[in-house]
């Protein structure tokens, strides 16, 4: 068996009862958007095919999705490593099915997080030139978030402890700050940001409205990103996180 609606419903309900999950995947992205986007003096200023509020909203949606995918996938991997897989073996659900359900839960929370940020954005002044921009940004946010599912899975397998989920979520917050997600960077910090995991993901999510145009700290437009470089960043980190998953799998087998 690869999927069971009952297990999926139980897992979603369990995560809704987890204050950590609610704060970091739902509450924090909205709070950051309200702080840096909706309440900013420049929120209504033009930013490509939308306004600054929409730009910030897209950035916070990437953060919420990356956090949800990372923390929930790390938790799933950690549970399997701690022996939950033996319990699953006593049921019709396979380990692959367990993974599918956990991934579906992470995607569901990612979708909820994105929807909440978009809803708050819509009622607080985030604007784009067409509905297509809203839909395309949402689609890229959710699809790109799968990369951070790999990161969470790798962290959970490699660390194999209850702290794996917390560590992975803290790492995502750090990636956000140095990856040009929370506030526009410039100079050396912007150069460094190009090589961080969240940079390509956030830039790609904002692409429908910015078309690659950069906004730097306090100086307005700051050049352009090439689409192929943004995609290369995402691909490179996907491969690195995939290697982390492989390392975690091999390490967990050696422990047995």
Cβ atoms of 63 and 181 within 8 Å: the answer is yes
Q: Higher pLDDT residue, 154 or 80?
A: 154
Contact partners, residue 156, CB within 8 Å, separation at least 6: 73, 74, 75, 76, 77, 78, 81, 164, 165, 168, 248
Output the pTM of the full model.
Answer: 0.88
Name which of 175, 171, 224, 166 is nearest 202 in CA terms. Answer: 175
Q: Per residue in 76-96, pLDDT tens?
A: 777 766 666 666 666 777 766
Q: Per residue in 26-62, pLDDT tens?
A: 888 999 899 888 877 788 888 889 998 999 999 999 9
The predicted pLDDT at position 89 comes to 66
């Amino acid at each position: 068996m690869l999927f069971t609606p009952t297990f999926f419903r139980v897992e979603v309900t369990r995560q809704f009862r987890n204050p950590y999950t609610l704060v970091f995947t739902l509450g924090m992205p909205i709070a950051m958007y309200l702080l840096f986007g909706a309440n900013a003096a420049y929120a209504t200023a033009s930013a490509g095919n939308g306004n600054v509020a929409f730009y910030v909203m897209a950035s916070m949606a990437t953060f919420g999705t990356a956090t949800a995918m990372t923390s929930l996938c790390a938790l799933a991997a950690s549970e399997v490593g701690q022996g939950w897989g033996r319990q699953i073996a006593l049921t019709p659900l396979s380990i692959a099915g367990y993974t599918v359900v956990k991934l579906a839960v992470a995607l569901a929370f990612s979708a909820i997080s994105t929807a909440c940020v978009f809803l708050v954005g819509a009622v607080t002044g985030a604007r784009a030139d067409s509905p297509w921009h809203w839909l395309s940004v949402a689609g890229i946010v959710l699809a790109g978030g799968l990369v951070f599912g790999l990161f969470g899975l790798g962290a959970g397998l490699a660390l194999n402890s209850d702290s794996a989920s917390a560590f992975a979520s803290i790492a995502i917050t750090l990636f956000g700050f140095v990856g040009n997600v929370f506030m526009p960077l410039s100079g050396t910090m912007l150069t460094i940001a190009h090589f961080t995991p969240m940079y390509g993901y956030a830039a790609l999510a904002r692409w429908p409205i910015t078309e690659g145009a950069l906004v730097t700290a306090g100086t307005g437009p700051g050049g352009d990103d090439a689409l192929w470089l943004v995609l290369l960043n995402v691909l490179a980190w996907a491969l690195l996180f995939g290697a982390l998953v492989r390392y975690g799998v091999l390490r967990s087998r050696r422990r047995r």
